[in-house]
Structure 1
């Protein structure tokens, strides 16, 4: 396994415990990195009955979660981690994020930009029939 002992890793977009960000954070923690997860707590309203019918219920629930489950996963591999709730698109937040990391762990050596911007017009929200 790759040895990343004491390397500082920053991963953005770590909301979903089954997502790419969480998997990446867990892998880096297993390899010995000091892991910093940044997430934006999303406030997403949806009709649960409608989303269940369209098969998107799991997707919608993932959008509305915070990083608490991800933190529980990372704790299994390391005590050297930070979970930061910030929108990583905002310039002031980016400065805050790096200041927090540098005070706690030093300079970021690994960066994984997993944050995504979505809108209600994204393809996944349209029923299959409207895409044909």
Structure 2
């Protein structure tokens, strides 16, 4: 098919994540994190990271998200900012606006919102 740069975090196993919100956890509030982060449970509020965020297949997130790269396999209701990349897989759904330098929407995903593409000043 095609090769997408910046998708090496697809291949990370659980041990590569410093923090995982497991599927039996429901969290409400603001999360600020500096390292790679995975959500499998339910999160309501706001999430910001200076690294990558993975929203796993069964996750339900009602929050605005900002991170370097965002991989969405589950459901997100809120605006998503990916400074480098937003990737929505075929099992993913986003109800909100996305802002990013690169976006990939796999066939079968659900996206309802506005997409704004911005140029990253560090890339040439």
Shorter-chain TM-score bucket reads: under 0.3
The structure number with the bigger radius of gyration is 1
The structure richer in strand per residue is 2
> Greater relative contact order (Cα 8 A, min sep 6): structure 1 or 2?
1
The structure richer in helix per residue is 1
TM-score where L is the length of structure 2: 0.28
TM-score where L is the length of structure 1: 0.26
